[in-house]
Amino acid sequence: MDLGLSGKRFVVTGGTRGIGRAVVEGLLAEGAAVAFCARSQDAVAQAQAELAAEGATAVGAAVDVGDSAALTKWVGDASDALGGLDGVVANVSALAIPESGDNWRTSFDVDLMGTVGLVDAALPHLLAAGGGSIVTISSVSGREIDFAAGPYGTMKAAIIHYTQGLAFKLADRGVRANTVSPGNTYFPGGVWSSIEENDPKLFAHALGLNPTGRMATPEEVANAVVFLSSSAASFITGTNLVVDGALTRGVQF
């Protein structure tokens, strides 16, 4: 299947590791050009060097998505560098799970408003290109109550609602908006790798909940993001695509 992504231009937040990095690589593999960001300048520089070594058009920048002015400037700079924008992927999460005042505020600023800020900044560029795609990354924790209920789960649920609202409002303007909700996703240096090392009981419990007997890889989640970002998904908008290996039990009507 030709996804029709060759020559398309994307911005991806949180693109140096895990799901975000896999999304960047997946888009590049389909011939797209990608601007990505993360908070750490060192991580950005390393990722850009690795991607450039493969001959891809990838432009990295250090950006805190909780800083709305910096986020807006980055999107504008990215559009200038790529010659416009055809799609955005809002991937960053603060992963602020324990319930505290600070974590509620951080989750709101980073997870929710980082997504809203990215879309607000990118939308004029998408419309100027004649339309495009928005993909937001939520979580199964936004769909059902689990150990991450609280700041993380609440903001992830809000992202789904926000995205489906975007889909309805922007459908007649050629902009599609969808969410991908991953289940537990394992990669070295990620949250589940840390839990495996520091809380093996929780890790074993989480692993045991999935009937596949394993967690997702970042690439498996990224495949869904890349598909929804493509013209192959041209009539899919307003959906929440769960990628969890049948972890969640609720029926999604």
Active site residues: 138-139, 152, 156
Alpha-carbon span 238 to 177, nearest angstrom:
6
CA distances (Å), origin 209, targets 78, 161, 181, 203, 213: 41, 26, 17, 10, 8
Of residues 97, 12, 18, 129, the one with CA closest to residue 63 = 12
Query: How far does CA 174 lie from the centroid of its chain?
Result: 21
Angle between helices 113-128 and 68-82 (to 10 degrees): 30
Query: Whose structure tokens read 């495949």?
Result: 223
Instruction: Return the amino acid letter for 133.
Output: S
List C-alpha distances in Å: 169 to 136, 163, 236. 16, 10, 14
Is residue 71 packed enough to be buried (19+ CB in 10 Å), middle (13-18) or exposed (0-12)?
buried
Residue with tokens 């992202």: 159
Question: What are the start-end ranges of the E strands in the chain?
Answer: 9-13, 33-38, 58-62, 87-90, 132-137, 175-182, 240-243
Nearest-Å Rg of the Cα atoms of the chain is 17
Sheet containing strand 9-13, edge to edge, reads 58-62, 33-38, 9-13, 87-90, 132-137, 175-182, 240-243
